[in-house]
């Protein structure tokens, strides 16, 4: 079984999700099965995590021919880059089944499909396979928002779907362009992601492909100014969907950049990464400032998530090992912190019957456990040392300072911006005098406390003792960066770099 | 004897058509019996075709028919698609005609005749044979379109189709004449030889003749600006007929289109520039028409234009016959599966007299008939080209083929077009799922349409896993 | 490493464990009826006491070592190791950190004791001690950290606790806003700090990002980067230590319980900036320009805060401004490279300011949360212990000769003069006079004269012993701490400075005896003038004057807060709101909206083209044919 | 001269097209299409004469057959249309549009 | 010389008939004009030595098909007021001509490249019934066969569309 562990992780939930949709199983039955399956995925994930040797290459590889004529394979594997995204998915999904009583059994089925697809997208080592899972990922999201979302769910669904599909289709063209270029340059058809790194790309179409691919990821992440789908979708989606969207799907966008753009488009990256780095920091500030203007706390968290995604993405474009490791670390850190903040927001919404910040107050008095957990997640999201959020943010800022001082300064602004809206929101919701809605606010039950506790503990452990996690990431990041620098910098030297404000620190 | 075997599917369909026609002469035959007959004919032809797949070109009865018909993997696979389309059309028709009472017994005979014409068209290696085959299938389909005589919409569709079809036929005849004048033959092989020997642009008769023939073919595949009829005709025709037209007809015409365009490489190369723009405009015109539609059938018709555009992309970006043919066939099959499924599902969901026609009529379908809605969703996803459906693989191959042929711009535009197409495909999904039901969606029960839908849903996924055979 | 020991980590860990245990206990029990306070009190004291003991152990351990080799380290575990970056969760006990360690644990413990009395009967008693323990743990991490990054953990940790404790009475919006303000302003500083760290790392940190390695590599710093690092780190310090321009949070921070103000906002946390600069003495000393900036910012802050302090009427606000002012002195000291003097002032200040706050706490406690000095008066008779201890504190703060504040402050002013900064010295002397003035203004108004508010006066009484004993202990410290570092002129030999010297890199100018005498004299004169004016005006009862003109301006803090609000906070929030209302829907989303409009209108056009007339369709065909023919005839040979 | 025949054929062909695009009377339109086919036939025969092969004759016969078949259907349609609307205006049939 | 003269006469008649077809308001007049064109064409066929087609054109086209058309026109009894109002059709003629000019020019350019072969009558049975028939049944067997299917379809179609059946509801 364990030689096919990745396939099990992909197809078990995927198949179960589809089957359960068709079979007349009761809602609770589906929930229990879903929980069991997500726990199995988690166990598999842990097994992978433990057995992962961290050598920088793909492990747990499975490769089977699919379309021989074009060199398309069913090819999956895990390396340090995918491991953490994979783990984020594996760890967080069981919570959905544990915590949320959905309105319909189909909701759980969709969740399972989303789980399978997300795992698939992360472990895919073949361009076509990646794309397939990448798109499948969106389908359950589409239905979950559209069927079970808030009042303006349809508009939100249309927006997220069309927006992200537009990006993905552009990526499809880029993927094919890569494979065809590979065929043209080597004479052999292949869609294997790792092989694309050898491509020598230049010219207008290479740039177009780069742009197309970046468009897909920039929308998914989302980078400013492609973020406008996000507040609508995040706030209208059912809480657990938002949780999945922000905690995992957005991260897969970043993962995609690391996996597909950085090693392949070295020259383009070297030349244009600075633009995206600026987009990252602009988004970080713009969305961070936008967050403070929100009245709806789910929207506020949505903007906060977008703001953090800005800095996470920034880490990729700085192209040094600290920033990249920071990004990968932050992927998990942010998944746990902002992810469960969304879950908490869901609890607030459910128990307070409102999403308006002004309707709340004094929740901390009636729900101390809830408030404490919320505070821990919030502080992690603000990047307080001792929580997981700090490690990643620091590494990214460190990398950014090396890359470009101005970018570094702007990135460091996250320290201030993040804390502004979070404290404001915490003050209005948890402190001050209780309102009618919150006077009898129910605290977390023992069960809920137990479910959340591991994540809270994880947040702290990852902040206090991050090295074991970093050790799994770093070799792969190192490998990526070395590859990037050795092939990217000569290309940059030949070209005239884009003139943008650039302060070097090695005067 | 092998020649006979190669011809057998065509003969089965032809003979079946004639038998069905004779059957229609008996007044007291049940319509359903004819339907079963039609299904049997197509199934048999399909099985025989499948069993007789061969590699390499064979001129069927080369002596007797003077090498006017060829049978190779390409034509055989197109044959498979056509017979399968016929089979599923018969299947959904039986359901459809339980709720709509204008069926005539000749319906199935005409379907078979049309399929006969299509098979001939794909195998034709000579212009006038192709012309006659084209007319056979056109005439049969004209009649199928106008089958509901008392319905003024059907008659209008018939008028538009017949008039413009005959008009296009005039172009074909003139084009054939000019090519005959230029090459002193209407055989593809000879024409190809003449073009190869003398150059395309240096032989104006051939060039202009091929222009006129292309116009006729572009009309048949509904390429811009020869597309306008398709929306109205699909709208006016009965649902199963529309499905048949959209799939089998398109497959046959595209197969012939490919054969004609490929009769010499110079011919194709000379037309690439024009076909490029036509393909682009076709994709976008189709999309933009579809966006504004409220009627489902019209939307599907317009989306058919878009898919013609994608198929034209495959024709423009011809890398090698093997590869591009496979891509073309795969896409045709992919498109056929989804479209047939769609029309099949609509055949029984639209109810009596096709009373559910517009998007709004399908509001909340998923709440009442979840399986039907799911099936329609699957077909829509396939048409939209989203994984893991066969439509996605088809589109993937088209794009691979296009970029491989260094038509990267065209591939990019095809992608942009499919972005636009999401709008209207998703609109139906949204309508079905995200609104409350206002209709009970009660329909006459019939085992065939659901069965047919189910098979096609399975096909949508199963074909996606099939590797592309080059 | 031979200097490696294994108990350093325990020093911060003890209070941290205490914090977690108390916090969990409180969290899970508070709604079902809180546990008796004595459990919490007991638990809360374990950590600080153990830490104090361990601190002494470290102190004696160091003392037993050779003077130049007084370094103890402990690498608990590898914290972050990425590429060139290797950071251990490491702790370092050298003379500097041990000195800090000693008074932090000591004063921390005392204030814990005091709080047991002060917080008795409060809601969320357990939470308070959890936070307090957490604070102590964080502060100890800050102090003991072996490198800047670990220090940052403590740095931010104390910031967090500061926030939590300021907004401890969280039902009142103003308290929470004060907490928010503290955290956010601190974060602005932290932003500078982290940027400074990053620059420092890329400049010289790649061979090891701990103080010892950095110190070895400090000579590799280029001037530009070095200056930038110094200034950025100092930005961090201005945040934490409430210097211009980030001082605004500290007065508001008085919203927290008074022991908190004593511990965090007077004795320990706010001095972290000074400690940090002293820690980086090996860098600052290379860049006198940066030092000058630090010194001037410091002394100007001292001046500004002193001005504010003279016109405040809230007893805690006065103390807060005095704290800012004293912190200004400390920065002036470290700015002129007199690190040991700065640290020594930190040390003495910790005693007397903690004492003053606790004394003020006693007063407030006695008067049932009355904080307006104009509503106090004549408490001398009612609260003798408080009165006498406060007097010691005030004398120390005002710089009365023979009290601790005098020695440390005088040392700073002298060294500033000696280092060639007469301006700083001059301002310092003026500020010293002002300090004496506002300190005794407060003192006289509170304890002398007649009671201005009879009702609360009637109920006032000496607080319980658990509160008075800490006062006495601190008073002893405040009075005598100065003798630990007696300069030569008073017959001492600078014990503390010598103790600190292995940790610091300083070379201050030698001013000679006459200069030193001049400085001492000036300080004494300044003290005398200040206290004289105060006595004249308030010595024997006074009525609250009308605030007008400059006094009103100063009472309103030069409107700096309002200015900040108008220039920074309001635009920031306004931008947020306008993004929600306008920028996002109509600006950033414009491309989406335009696309939709474009599609819709094109769709409408194409629908219109589907005219429905068969002849029109035929015309389209002919148009197509015609166009193709037109182009085709161009290519035909 | 053969070219003259072909020019005539083209002229007739174009007149046929013109008839289709300019007339609303269904009958006239169908007859215009017949005219186009006739023009094609003329071209077939002219080329046949040019090449002195008789293939063109056979082709022309085929076209005639097609024309006849189309005519049969066209007339059936005309009758249907007349039944529906009582007139033969192609513009009268514009239910399907947009 | 005579052939040339005849060509021009027939050509003139054919064009005149064609123009008559598209210009005539009533389809009856148009049909008559078309008959004239067809007869003129048959004359041209004869000039092109296409003996069999000459006959077929007269019998099948001018005779059978056109008779049928005329019959239907009369059968439907189309009166003047049934005819569509086509007031703006001159505009369409004009526009159509403009559109068709490039098409016609292109086509004419193409045929102008042909060698100037005189259209003398070819002897030796060229275009005779026997010769064409032999060709039809040997070389062109397949098209001939499938034309039968075409006609069958047309037959069935006409019946389905125009015939009276019980299933019409």
Inform me whether the C-beta atom of residue B370 falls under 8 Å from chain D C-beta atoms.
no
Residues 2-61 on D with a CB inside 8 Å of E are 2-8, 10-19, 21-25, 27-28, 30-32, 34-35, 38, 41-42, 45-46, 48-50, 52, 54-58, 60-61
pLDDT band at B131 (very low <50, low <70, confident <90, very high): very high
Write down the pLDDT at residue A488: 56
Closest by Cβ to E99, choosing from C623, C632, C633: C623
- Which residues, listed in sequence order, are joined to residue A75 by a DSSP beta bridge? A63
| CA A440 – CA C425 distance, rounded (Å) | 60
Residues 152-211 on C with a CB inside 8 Å of A are 152-153, 155-157, 160, 163, 167, 170-173, 176-177, 179-180, 183-184, 187-188, 190-191, 194-195, 197-199, 201-203
Question: Nearest CA of chain C to the CA of A463: how many Å?
Answer: 9
pLDDT band at E169 (very low <50, low <70, confident <90, very high): very low
Closest by Cβ to C623, choosing from B219, B225, B270: B225
Identify the residue whose tokens are 């002398």. Answer: C448
Which is more confident, A382 or C369? A382
Identify the residue whose tokens are 């605290």. Answer: A443
> Which residues in chain A have their CB less than 8 angstroms from residue B470's CB?
69
User: Is there a contact between A369 and C27 if contact means CB atoms under 8 Å apart?
Assistant: yes
Chains D & E: contacts with CB separation below 8 Å: 235
pLDDT band at A495 (very low <50, low <70, confident <90, very high): very low
Chains E and A touch, using 3 or more CB pairs below 8 Å: no
What three-state secondary structure class fits C583? helix
Write down the pLDDT at residue C133: 92
Residue B82 near residue B213, CB atoms below 8 Å: no
Question: Nearest CA of chain A to the CA of B185: how many Å?
Answer: 38
Which tens digits make up the pLDDT trace of D16-67? 999 999 988 888 999 999 999 999 999 999 999 888 888 999 999 999 999 9
pLDDT at E151 over 80: yes
Write down the pLDDT at residue C138: 92
Based on the number of CB atoms within 10 Å of its own CB, is C102 exposed (0-12), middle (13-18) or buried (19 or more)? Answer: middle
Q: Which of B117, B163, B170 to mutate to test the interface with D (most CBs of D within 10 A)?
A: B170
3-state helix/strand/coil string of C529-551? HHHHHHHHHHCCCCCCCCCCHHH
User: Is there a contact between A166 and B434 if contact means CB atoms under 8 Å apart?
Assistant: no
pLDDT at A437 over 80: no
User: Is there a contact between B386 and A135 if contact means CB atoms under 8 Å apart?
Assistant: yes
Write down the pLDDT at residue E168: 46
pLDDT at E165 over 60: no
Q: Is A57 left (phi over 0), alpha (psi -120 to 50) or beta?
A: beta
Mean pLDDT rounded to a whole number for chain C: 87
pLDDT at B282 over 90: yes
| Helix H or strand E encompassing A76 | strand A72-78
Q: What percent of chain A has pLDDT over 70?
A: 95
Least confident window among B348-352, C547-551, E131-135: C547-551
Tokens matching residue C256: 């927290």
Write down the pLDDT at residue A499: 39
pLDDT at E93 over 70: yes
Write down the pLDDT at residue C637: 67
| CA A410 – CA A402 distance, rounded (Å) | 13
Write down the pLDDT at residue A39: 93
Mean pLDDT rounded to a whole number for chain A: 87
- What integer is the mean pLDDT of C446-472? 83
User: Number of helices (H) and strands (E), helices first, in chain C?
Assistant: 28, 2
What three-state secondary structure class fits A432? coil
Question: Nearest CA of chain D to the CA of B182: how many Å?
Answer: 8
pLDDT band at A487 (very low <50, low <70, confident <90, very high): low
pLDDT at B302 over 90: yes
Question: Nearest CA of chain E to the CA of C603: how many Å?
Answer: 26
Write down the pLDDT at residue B213: 94
pLDDT at C591 over 90: no
Residue environment code for C441-476, b if the CB has 16+ CB neighbours within 10 A, otherwise e: bbbbbbbbbebbeeebbeebebbeeebbebbebbbe
Question: Nearest CA of chain A to the CA of B428: how many Å?
Answer: 12
Which tens digits make up the pLDDT trace of C80-136? 888 888 898 889 888 888 988 988 999 999 889 888 888 888 888 888 999 999 999
Tokens matching residue A213: 């691919």
Residues sharing a CB contact under 8 Å with residue C330, sequence separation 6 or more, in sequence order: C241, C271, C274, C298, C342, C345, C346, C349, C412
Which tens digits make up the pLDDT trace of E68-88? 888 888 888 877 777 777 788
> Which residues in chain A have their CB less than 8 angstroms from residue C575's CB?
289, 293
pLDDT at A506 over 70: no
pLDDT at C630 over 70: yes
Complex confidence, ipTM: 0.91
User: Number of helices (H) and strands (E), helices first, in chain A?
Assistant: 20, 2
Tokens matching residue C168: 């401890």
pLDDT band at A500 (very low <50, low <70, confident <90, very high): very low
User: Is there a contact between E99 and C630 if contact means CB atoms under 8 Å apart?
Assistant: no
pLDDT at A492 over 60: no
Write down the pLDDT at residue A502: 39
| CA A62 – CA A84 distance, rounded (Å) | 19
User: Is there a contact between C629 and E103 if contact means CB atoms under 8 Å apart?
Assistant: yes
| CA E118 – CA E120 distance, rounded (Å) | 6
What is the phi/psi pair of residue A64, to 5°?
A: -135, 145
Closest of C284, C19, C259 to residue C136, by C-alpha: C19
């Amino acid at each position: 079984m364990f030689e096919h562990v990745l396939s099990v992780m992909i197809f078990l939930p995927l198949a179960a999700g589809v089957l359960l949709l068709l079979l007349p199983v009761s809602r609770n039955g589906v929930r229990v099965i879903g929980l069991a399956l997500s726990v199995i995925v988690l166990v598999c994930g842990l097994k992978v995590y433990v057995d992962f040797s961290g050598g920088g290459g793909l492990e747990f590889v499975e490769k089977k021919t699919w379309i021989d004529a074009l060199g398309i394979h069913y090819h999956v594997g895990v390396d340090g880059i995918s491991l953490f995204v994979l783990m984020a998915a594996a760890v967080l999904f069981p919570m959905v089944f544990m915590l949320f009583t959905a309105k319909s059994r189909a909701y759980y089925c969709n969740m399972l499909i989303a789980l399978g697809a997300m795992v698939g997208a992360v472990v895919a080592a073949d361009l076509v396979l990646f794309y397939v899972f990448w798109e499948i990922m969106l389908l359950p999201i589409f239905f979950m928002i559209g069927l079970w979302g808030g009042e303006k769910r349809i508009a939100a669904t249309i927006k997220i779907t069309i927006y992200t599909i537009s990006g993905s289709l552009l990526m499809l063209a880029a993927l094919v362009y890569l494979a065809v270029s590979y065929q043209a340059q080597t004479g052999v058809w292949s869609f294997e992601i790792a092989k694309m790194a050898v491509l020598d790309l230049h010219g207008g179409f290479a740039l177009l492909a780069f742009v197309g691919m970046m468009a897909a990821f920039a929308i998914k992440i989302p980078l400013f100014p492609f973020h406008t789908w996000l507040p609508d979708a995040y706030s209208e989606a059912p809480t657990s969907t938002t949780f999945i969207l922000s905690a995992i799907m957005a991260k897969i966008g970043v993962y995609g950049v690391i996996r597909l753009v950085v090693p392949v488009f070295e020259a383009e990256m070297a030349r244009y990464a600075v633009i995206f780095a600026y987009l990252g920091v602009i988004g970080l500030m713009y969305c961070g400032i936008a967050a403070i203007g929100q009245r709806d706390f789910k929207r506020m968290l949505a903007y906060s998530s977008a703001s953090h995604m800005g800095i996470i993405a920034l880490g990729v474009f700085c192209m040094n090992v600290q920033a990249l490791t920071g990004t990968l670390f932050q992927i998990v850190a942010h998944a746990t912190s902002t992810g469960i903040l969304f879950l908490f927001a869901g609890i607030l919404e459910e128990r307070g019957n409102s999403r308006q910040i002004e309707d709340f107050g004094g929740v901390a008095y009636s729900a101390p456990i809830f408030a404490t957990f919320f505070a821990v997640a919030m502080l992690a999201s603000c990047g307080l040392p001792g929580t997981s959020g700090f490690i990643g943010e620091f590494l990214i800022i460190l990398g950014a300072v090396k890359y470009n001082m101005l970018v570094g300064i702007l990135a460091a602004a996250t320290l201030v911006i993040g804390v502004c809206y979070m404290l404001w929101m915490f003050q209005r919701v948890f402190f001050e005098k209780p309102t009618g809605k919150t006077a009898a606010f129910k605290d977390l039950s023992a069960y809920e406390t137990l479910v959340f506790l591991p994540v809270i503990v994880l947040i702290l452990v990852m902040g206090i003792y991050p090295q074991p996690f970093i050790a799994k990431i770093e070799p792969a990041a190192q490998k990526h960066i070395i590859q990037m620098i050795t092939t990217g910098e000569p290309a940059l030297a030949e070209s005239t770099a884009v003139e943008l404000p650039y302060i070097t620190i090695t005067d | 004897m092998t020649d006979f075997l190669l011809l057998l599917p065509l003969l089965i369909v032809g003979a079946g058509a004639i038998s069905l026609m004779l059957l229609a002469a008996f007044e007291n035959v049940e319509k359903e019996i004819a339907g079963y007959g039609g299904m049997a004919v197509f199934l048999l032809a399909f099985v025989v075709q499948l069993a007789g797949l061969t590699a390499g070109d064979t001129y069927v009865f080369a002596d007797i028919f003077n090498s006017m018909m060829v049978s190779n993997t390409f034509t055989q696979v197109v044959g498979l698609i056509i017979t399968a389309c016929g089979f599923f059309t018969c299947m959904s028709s039986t359901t459809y005609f339980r709720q709509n009472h204008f069926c005539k017994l000749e319906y199935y005979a005409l379907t078979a005749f049309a399929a006969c014409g299509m098979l001939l068209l794909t195998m034709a290696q000579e212009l006038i044979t192709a012309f006659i085959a084209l007319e056979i299938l056109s005439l049969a389909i004209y009649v199928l379109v106008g089958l509901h005589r008392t319905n003024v919409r059907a008659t209008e569709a018939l008028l538009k189709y017949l008039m413009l079809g005959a008009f296009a036929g005039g172009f074909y005849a003139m084009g054939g004449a000019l090519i005959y004048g230029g090459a002193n033959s209407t055989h593809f092989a000879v024409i190809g030889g003449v073009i190869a020997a003398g150059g395309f642009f240096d032989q104006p008769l051939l060039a202009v003749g091929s222009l006129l023939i292309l116009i006729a073919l572009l009309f048949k595949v509904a390429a811009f600006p020869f597309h306008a009829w398709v929306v109205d005709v699909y709208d006016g025709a009965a649902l199963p007929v529309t499905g048949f037209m959209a799939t089998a007809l398109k497959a046959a015409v595209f197969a012939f289109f490919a054969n004609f365009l490929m009769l010499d490489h110079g011919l194709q190369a000379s037309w690439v520039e024009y076909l490029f723009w036509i393909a682009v405009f076709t994709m976008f015109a189709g999309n933009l028409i579809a966006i504004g539609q409220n009627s489902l059938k019209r939307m599907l018709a317009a989306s058919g234009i878009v898919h013609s555009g994608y198929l034209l992309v495959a024709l423009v970006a011809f890398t090698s016959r093997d590869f591009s043919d496979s891509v073309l066939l795969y896409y045709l099959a992919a498109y056929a599966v989804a479209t047939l499924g769609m029309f099949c599902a609509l055949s029984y969901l639209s109810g009596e007299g096709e009373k559910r026609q517009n998007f709004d009529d399908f509001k909340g379908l998923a709440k009442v008939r979840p399986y039907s809605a799911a099936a329609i969703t699957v077909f829509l996803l396939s048409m939209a080209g989203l994984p893991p459906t066969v439509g996605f693989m088809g589109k993937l191959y088209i794009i691979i083929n296009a970029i491989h042929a260094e038509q990267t711009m065209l591939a990019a535009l095809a992608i942009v077009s499919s972005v636009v197409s999401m709008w209207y495909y998703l609109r139906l999904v949204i309508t079905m799922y995200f609104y409350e039901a206002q209709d009970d969606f009660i329909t006459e029960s019939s085992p065939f349409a659901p069965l047919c839908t189910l098979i096609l849903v399975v096909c949508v996924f199963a074909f996606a896993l099939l590797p592309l055979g080059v | 490493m031979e200097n490696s020991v294994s108990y350093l980590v325990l020093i911060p860990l003890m209070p941290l464990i205490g914090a977690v245990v108390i916090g969990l206990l409180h969290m899970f029990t508070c709604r079902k009826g809180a546990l008796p306070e004595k459990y919490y009190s007991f638990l809360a004291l374990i950590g600080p006491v153990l830490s104090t003991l361990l601190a002494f152990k470290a102190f004696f351990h160091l003392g037993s070592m050779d003077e130049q080799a007084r370094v103890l380290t402990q690498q608990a575990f590898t914290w972050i190791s990425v590429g060139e970056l290797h950071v251990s969760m490491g702790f370092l006990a050298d003379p500097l950190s041990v000195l800090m360690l000693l008074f932090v644990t000591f004063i921390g413990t005392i204030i814990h004791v005091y709080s047991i009395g002060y917080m008795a009967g409060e809601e969320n008693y357990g939470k308070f001690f959890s936070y307090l323990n957490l604070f102590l743990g964080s502060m100890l991490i800050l102090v003991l950290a072996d490198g800047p990054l670990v220090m940052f953990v403590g740095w931010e940790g104390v910031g967090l606790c500061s926030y939590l404790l300021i907004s401890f009475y969280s039902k009142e919006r103003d308290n929470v806003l004060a907490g928010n303000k503290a955290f956010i302003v601190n974060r602005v500083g932290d932003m500078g700090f982290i940027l400074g760290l990053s620059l420092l790392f890329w400049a010289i940190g790649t061979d090891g990002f701990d103080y010892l390695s950095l110190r070895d590599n400090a000579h590799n710093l280029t001037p530009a980067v070095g200056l930038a690092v110094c200034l950025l780190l100092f930005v961090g310090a201005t945040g934490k230590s409430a210097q211009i321009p980030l001082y605004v949070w500290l007065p508001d921070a008085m919203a927290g319980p008074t022991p908190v103000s004593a511990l965090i906002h007077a004795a320990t946390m706010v001095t972290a900036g000074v400690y940090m600069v002293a820690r980086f003495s090996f860098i600052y000393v290379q860049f006198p320009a940066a030092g000058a900036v630090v010194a001037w910012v410091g002394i100007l802050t001292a001046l500004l805060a002193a001005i504010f302090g003279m016109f405040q009427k809230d007893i805690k606000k006065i103390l807060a401004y005095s704290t800012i002012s004293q912190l200004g002195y400390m920065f002036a000291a470290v700015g002129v490279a007199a690190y040991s003097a700065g640290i020594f002032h930190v040390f003495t200040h910790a005693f007397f300011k903690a004492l003053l706050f606790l004394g003020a706490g006693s007063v407030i406690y006695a008067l049932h949360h009355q904080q307006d000095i104009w509503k106090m008066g004549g408490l001398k008779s009612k609260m003798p212990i408080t009165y006498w201890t406060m007097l010691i504190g005030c004398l120390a703060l005002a710089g009365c000769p023979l009290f601790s504040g005098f020695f440390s402050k005088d040392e700073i002013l002298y060294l500033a003069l000696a280092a060639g900064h007469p301006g700083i010295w001059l301002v310092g002397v003026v500020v010293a006079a002002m300090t004496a003035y506002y300190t005794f203004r407060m003192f006289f108004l509170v304890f002398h004269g007649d009671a201005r508010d009879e009702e609360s006066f009637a109920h006032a009484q000496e607080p319980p012993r658990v509160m008075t004993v800490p006062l006495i202990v601190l008073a002893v410290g405040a009075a005598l701490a100065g003798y630990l570092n007696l300069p030569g002129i008073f017959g001492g030999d600078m014990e503390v400075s010598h103790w600190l010297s292995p940790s610091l890199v300083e070379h201050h100018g030698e001013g000679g005896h006459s200069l030193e005498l001049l400085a001492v004299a000036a300080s004494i004169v300044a003290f005398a003038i200040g206290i004289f004016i105060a006595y004249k005006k308030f010595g024997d009862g006074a009525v609250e004057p009308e605030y007008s003109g400059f006094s009103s301006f100063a009472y309103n803090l030069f409107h700096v807060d309002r200015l900040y609000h108008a220039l920074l906070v309001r635009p920031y929030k306004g931008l947020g709101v306008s993004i929600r209302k306008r920028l996002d829907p109509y600006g950033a989303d414009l491309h989406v909206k335009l696309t939709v409009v474009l599609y819709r209108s094109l769709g409408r056009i194409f629908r219109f083209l589907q005219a429905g007339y068969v002849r029109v369709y035929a015309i389209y065909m002919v148009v197509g044919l015609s166009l193709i023919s037109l182009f085709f005839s161009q290519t035909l040979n | 001269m053969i070219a003259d025949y072909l020019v005539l054929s083209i002229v007739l062909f174009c007149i046929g097209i013109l008839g289709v695009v300019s007339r609303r009377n269904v009958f006239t339109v169908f007859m215009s299409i017949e005219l186009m086919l006739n023009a094609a036939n003329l071209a077939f025969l002219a080329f046949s004469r040019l090449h002195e092969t008789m293939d063109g004759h056979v082709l022309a016969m085929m076209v005639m057959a097609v024309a006849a078949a189309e005519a049969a259907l066209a007339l059936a349609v005309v009758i249907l249309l007349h039944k529906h609307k009582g007139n033969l205006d192609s513009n009268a049939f514009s239910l399907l549009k947009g | 010389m005579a052939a040339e003269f005849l060509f021009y006469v027939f050509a003139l008649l054919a064009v005149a008939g064609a123009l008559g077809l598209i210009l005539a308001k009533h389809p009856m007049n148009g049909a008559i004009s078309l008959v004239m064109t067809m007869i003129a064409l048959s004359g041209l066929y004869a000039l092109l030595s296409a003996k069999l087609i000459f006959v077929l054109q007269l019998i099948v086209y001018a005779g059978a098909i056109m008779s049928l058309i005329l019959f239907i026109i009369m059968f439907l009894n189309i009166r003047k007021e049934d005819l569509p109002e086509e007031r703006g059709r001159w505009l369409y003629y004009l526009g159509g001509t403009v559109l068709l000019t490039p098409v016609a020019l292109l086509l004419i350019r193409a045929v102008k490249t042909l060698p100037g072969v005189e259209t003398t009558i070819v002897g030796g049975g060229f275009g005779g019934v026997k010769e064409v028939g032999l060709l039809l049944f040997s070389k062109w067997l397949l098209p001939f066969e499938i034309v039968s299917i075409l006609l069958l379809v047309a037959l069935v179609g006409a019946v389905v569309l125009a015939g009276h059946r019980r299933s019409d509801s």
